Amino acid sequence: MAENGEGPPSDPDDDGVDYAGRASEILGFSRWWQIVAAAGMMAAVSPYQYVWSSIEQPLAESLDIALPALGAVFSFYVVFQSLSQFPAGKWRDSRGPGALTFLAALLAGGGYVGLAYATTLWQLYLLYSLGAIGVGIVYTVAVNTAVKWFPDRTGLTTGVGTMAFAGGSALVVPYVRANDSVAAYSDVLRNLGLAILVVTLVGSYLLRDPPDDWLGLEDREDEGENGEGDDGDLAASLRGRAYTTREMLSTWQFWLLYAMFVAMAGADLIVIANVVRFAEQFGLAAIVATASATLLPVAAGVSRMILGEVSDRFSRRRVMAVSFVLAGAFRLALIVAGRAEAGVAFVGLVMAAMFFSSPLFVYFPSVIADYYGARNSSGNYAVLYTAKVGGGVFAGTVTGYLVATAGWVPTFALGGGLAIAAGLAAILLRPPSGSGAAADASAAAD
């Protein structure tokens, strides 16, 4: 039986809780509409990250600015998009998503509309930074909407949202590329801004959070029911305590997760930012570089849903470990394929490498909910997400230095090594003592 006529089955899960039924009673409609709204918002704001390379040239020509001077615009985006998530997440956890996503709609939509009328470089910096704050708000709200409404299918539903962020721009890029002249770009920016505004406003109207006690599991914590999986992967959001951010920061598990996130974000961005130049330095045909860059986001987006679902059905810790080790191994294999001038193999390995590394944006929010609960998940994951800044610095500044001093092969090999190290580190993860997940793990081991 489908959940209100759609989505996965609504039968009670193995622990006897009818999540779909409880959610429908609260919302008055299927909880999957919350994921549809969140994914739509993610797709709407994705041009900030994935369309920039298509608009910077006409912007530079229109404002008579040297193209390298615009490089800082995207750097500002990464910083503000990442760091805005913590205050936004804390607000959302305590006051809900409505007013926050309304503000995000004004910032993200208004940022692009403003770009259409910008006349100076400082205006570009300001508008793109304000828009980035809106993107950060949408990102943390969307990801944690899945965490809050789907404690039983966190991996799959966060995968849907993050896939929309990775793939949503695919609908926009052809339109932008067809109108990337100086004469047309103002209309393009204004139209995109209005579309972002409308979609995010609709999302702000639809999104809401469940009450803290919506699962009704408080009375079951003393029943001794075991979680599924050999490492207590049944989320702490289902039973057990809800960690505050300060409490989370006092656990060694968080700092291991943070180091893993930095390593995986760095390994991921090294490929995303440099795959074309890496292919060219081996003398591979232009079509190989183009195919690699085109298919890379496809593999990244699809993998987030597939491996997100896998991580729901099996031990999330073990899925992470295998996924990251394979991501590193395929990065090392890229070097072999490049040296052999095997173009088809090179493209296939790029897709494989991204398929296994890109779900990092699904695994980590899910593990944060598993270990520290869903009640404060927005703020807690936002703190972990700041590791993306470290990964970005590594993939940008550090990679540039390494390429200049050691060359492309050692640099890409280091990226593979980082991914493998993160995978091995995942084996060490255990739920924090005192959490519901830890209690389940202990019971399962007895």
* C-alpha separations of 50 from 46, 65, 171, 333, 358 in Å: 6, 21, 11, 27, 15
Q: Of 324, 331, 353, 333, whose CA–CA distance to 415 is shortest?
A: 331
Give the C-alpha separation, 162 to 139, whole Å.
8
What CATH class is the domain 229-445?
mainly alpha
Could you count the other beta carbons within 10 Å of the beta carbon of residue 281?
A: 14
Residue-level pLDDT at 397 = 66
User: What residues have CB less than 8 Å from 178, skipping those under 6 apart?
Assistant: none
Give the C-alpha separation, 395 to 271, whole Å.
9
Q: What mean pLDDT do residues 425-434 have?
A: 86
Q: Do domains 27-206 and 229-445 have the same CATH topology?
A: yes
Residue-level pLDDT at 259 = 93
Place 424 in a pLDDT band, splitting at 50, 70 and 90.
very high
- Which architecture, in CATH terms, is 27-206? Up-down Bundle (1.20)
Identify whether the C-beta of residue 137 lies closer than 8 Å to the C-beta of residue 101: yes
Question: What is the C-alpha end-to-end distance of the chain, expressed in Å?
Answer: 36
Place 326 in a pLDDT band, splitting at 50, 70 and 90.
very high
Which token pair is 404?
């200049």
Half-sphere exposure of residue 105: CA atoms within 13 angstroms, side-chain side: 20
The per-residue pLDDT for range 202-241, each reduced to its tens digit, is 988 888 888 777 766 544 444 434 334 444 444 444 445 6
CB environment 402-435: b (16+ within 10 A), e (fewer):
bbeeeebbebbbbbbbbbbbbbebbeebebbeeb
Q: What mean pLDDT do residues 248-259 have?
A: 93
Look at the alpha carbons of 106, 111, 117, 120 in this order and tell me if their dihedral is positive or negative: positive
The per-residue pLDDT for range 101-151, each reduced to its tens digit, is 999 999 999 999 998 888 888 888 899 999 999 999 998 888 878 778 887
> Counting Cβ atoms within 10 Å, is residue 87 exposed (0-12), middle (13-18) or buried (19+)?
middle
Residue-level pLDDT at 182 = 63
Which token pair is 207?
């999104």
Identify whether the C-beta of residue 371 lies closer than 8 Å to the C-beta of residue 432: yes
Q: Of 293, 375, 435, 432, whose CA–CA distance to 89 is shortest?
A: 375
Residue-level pLDDT at 410 = 87
DSSP one-letter string for 167-210: HGGGGTHHHHHHT-STTTHHHHHHHHHHHHHHHHHHHHHH----
Residue-level pLDDT at 125 = 87
User: What residues have CB less than 8 Å from 438, skipping those under 6 apart?
Assistant: 232, 240, 430, 431, 432
Which token pair is 365?
């929010």
Which token pair is 62?
């229109």
Residue-level pLDDT at 330 = 94
pLDDT > 70 in the chain, percent: 81
| pLDDT above 90: residue 180 | no
CB environment 110-142: b (16+ within 10 A), e (fewer):
bbbbbbbebeebeebbebbbbbbbbbbbbbbbb
User: Residue 233's Cα: distance from chain center in Å?
Assistant: 20
Domains of the chain by residue range: 27-206, 229-445
* C-alpha separations of 368 from 234, 249, 321, 382, 437 in Å: 12, 12, 16, 10, 11
Helix axes 32-45, 121-149, angle to 10 degrees: 160
Which token pair is 379?
């703020």
Give the C-alpha separation, 370 to 378, whole Å.
13
| pLDDT above 90: residue 256 | yes
Identify whether the C-beta of residue 388 lies closer than 8 Å to the C-beta of residue 360: no
More confident residue, 233 or 244: 244
Give the C-alpha separation, 204 to 185, whole Å.
28
User: What mean pLDDT is reported for the chain?
Assistant: 79
- pTM comes to 0.70
Three-state DSSP class for residue 9: strand
* C-alpha separations of 295 from 43, 54, 235, 262 in Å: 18, 17, 34, 24
Give the C-alpha separation, 278 to 312, whole Å.
35
